[in-house]
Amino acid sequence: MICKDFGKLTAGVVINTTKPHAAKALEYLLSEMDKRKMPYLAESASALSAGLSGQGVTFSEMLSRAQWLIVIGGDGTILSAVRELTDLGIPILGINPGESFGFLAEIPYSEIPSALDNILSGRFDIEERATLSARFTTEEGIVKEERALNDLAFVRGLDARVVEMRVMVNGEYLTTYAVDGLILSTATGSTAYSLSAGGPVMYPGLDAFLLTPVCPHSLMNRPMIFPKGTAIEIENATIGRDVHISADGRVVLTLGMNERVSVSLEKSVKFLTTRQHSFTQKLRKKMGWQGGLKESEQDKFAK
């Protein structure tokens, strides 16, 4: 994307106040933005943690006035910010103040100045990341809807026994899983919980989502990838036990026996990337991939 006026738009800035070094990163960011005369609004708790008492605004006010969002923290901080967005059209730039393993906060502390320069020069892209929508209708006919950027996980709770989950694809019965849990993840979330459960890595721009069984009773139950437009229904077929549903790690729904939830790929969240780190580079670095090459050869091919 080439838009040299983008840096003149007001940025909302929020940090994870519990993260070490986040306040220091915020001070550094704002000083660099001041040097470049880039307008911003800091969220009140974030501003206070950086010693900027009285200079912040509420999160809702910040979102109503900002044209883009800068989030300082790990992936969990970004996921929390996404949950608060009513306008998914606001691009998000993630800044990692420390050594977070996550993939969403792409700009390290040391590269804040160069990232801002790239934005001012129009050297950036806007990537769209699909979200998952889970719809549940209560016995009273009330529809509850939850959104997840990374994943929806169907888990058994404190009971150690497996749960049985009946899955329908576009209205057609697929199978009944006897598992510790099921994970439905976006391409963005394929490097999170699903990856730990043996699921594949998907490039984040893919309009597809992934179903990964957790410790399936049958070894024939493997991860599956579904294209956008596929409607998945998951029913709790476990006798006498509930199944809990978490959206991006936060429990949001409980399915009783024979209750079901509908899941589909829905609206996208926009992320601002300054082209400083490709997804391929992130995979190689964060996963520690070396292959069978000697280190010197690996360095040569990485250049």
How many C-beta atoms lie closer than 10 Å to residue 303's C-beta?
4
- Give the span between the Cα atoms of 258 and 261, in whole angstroms: 10
Both structure tokens of 120: 């001012």
Distance CA(187)–CA(179), nearest Å, equals 22
> Which residues, 6+ apart, have CB-to-CB distance to 17 below 8 Å?
23, 45, 46, 49
Q: How far apart are CA 90 and CA 93, in angstroms?
A: 10
- Cα separation of 223 and 108, whole Å? 33
List of E strands, 187-242: 208-214, 224-227, 232-236
Sequence-separated (6 or more) residues with CB below 8 Å from residue 27:
50, 51
The single residue of 5, 34, 75, 159 carrying the catalytic annotation is 75
Q: Identify whether 75 is a catalytic site residue.
A: yes
Best CA proximity match to 68, nearest among 16, 13, 130: 13
Q: Please give the positions annotated as active site.
A: 75
